[in-house]
Amino acid sequence: MPRTTEEQRQLWRDFECAEDKMIVVPFGPDRIRVAPVTADAWQALAAVMAHHRYAIRTTDTDSYNCRTIKDGTGRSLHSYGIALDVNWQTNPWRDHQGTRPVNFSSKLTQLERAEDVRVGIADTDMTKEMIESVLRIQTKAGLRVFEWGGGWQTVKDCMHFEIDVSPADMSAGIDTRTVEGWNTFVANAAAMPPAAAPTNPAPTAGTPGAPPANAGQLHVVIARGALNLRSGPGTTFPVLRNLAANTVVSVVGRQGDWARVDLEGDGLADGFASLAFLQPTVSPGQPGPGLAPTASPSQPGPSPAPPAGTGILDQVTPAAAKRMFPATGLGPITANLPFVLAGLGSFNLVDRSMVLMALATIRAETEGFVPIDEFVSPFNTASSPFDLYDAGTAIGAGLGNTVPGDGPRFKGRGYVQLTGRDNYTRIGSQIQQDLVGRPSLANDPATAGVILARFLLNKEAAIRTALAAGDLRRARKLVNGGSHGFDRFKDAFDRGLAALPG
Q: How confident is the model at residue 413 (pLDDT cuts 50, 70, 90)?
A: very high
Q: Which one-letter DSSP state was computed for residue 443?
A: G
Q: Is the four-CA dihedral 65, 71, 158, 134 of positive or negative sign?
A: positive
Contact 233, 274 (CB under 8 A): no
Contacts of 230 by beta carbon, 8 Å cutoff, 6+ apart = 237, 238, 239, 240, 271, 272, 273
Q: Identify whether the C-beta of residue 502 lies closer than 8 Å to the C-beta of residue 396.
A: no
Question: What pLDDT does 327 receive?
Answer: 82
Task: Give yes or no for a contact between 222 and 243, defined as CB atoms under 8 angstroms apart.
Answer: no
Kindly state the helix (H) or strand (E) to which residue 297 belongs, with its residue range. none
User: What ranges in 136-237 are assigned the alpha helix state H?
Assistant: 167-171, 182-191
Tell me 382's DSSP state.
Answer: S
Average pLDDT of the chain is 81
Determine the pLDDT at residue 299: 36
For 424-481, the pLDDT digits (tens) are 999 999 988 899 999 999 988 889 999 999 999 999 989 999 999 999 999 999 998 7
What is the number of helices (H) and of strands (E) in the chain? Answer: 16, 16
Beta strands in 167-247 (DSSP E): 218-221, 227-230, 239-243
Check if the beta carbon of residue 190 is closer than 8 Å to that of residue 326. yes
pLDDT tens, residue by residue, 110-125 = 888 888 998 899 999 9
Integer CA distances (angstroms), 191 to 42, 157, 174, 492, in order = 20, 35, 22, 17
Cα distance between residue 126 and residue 109, in whole Å: 10
**Furthest-apart CA atoms within the chain: distance in Å:** 70
Domains and CATH numbers, the chain: 5-191 (no CATH), 218-280 (2.30.30.40), 313-499 (1.10.530.10)
pLDDT bucket at 229, cuts 50 / 70 / 90: confident
* Residue 357, helix vs strand vs coil: helix
Residue 149 contacts residue 158 (beta carbons within 8 Å): yes
Distance, in Å, from the CA atom of 25 to the CA atom of 446, rounded to the nearest integer, reads 21
Tell me which amino acid residue 391 is: A
Contact 27, 189 (CB under 8 A): no
Cα separation, 432 vs 123, in Å, equals 60
Q: Say which range, 85-94, 242-251, 371-380, 482-491, has the weakest mean pLDDT.
A: 242-251
Whole-prediction pTM: 0.47
Torsion, CA 227, CA 232, CA 235, CA 236, rounded to 10: -140
Residue range 282-306: mean pLDDT, rounded: 35
Give the angle 324-326-332 at the CA atoms, nearest 5°: 85
Taken as a whole, the chain contains a residue count of 502
Return the SS3 of 396: helix
Query: Residue 192 pLDDT > 50, yes or no?
Result: no
pLDDT digits (tens, 9 = 90+) for 21-36: 888 788 887 778 888 8
Q: Do residues 368 and 443 lie in contact, with contact meaning Cβ atoms separated by under 8 Å?
A: no
Around Cβ 419, how many Cβ atoms within 10 Å?
25
Contact in structure between 73 and 64 (CB atoms under 8 Å): no
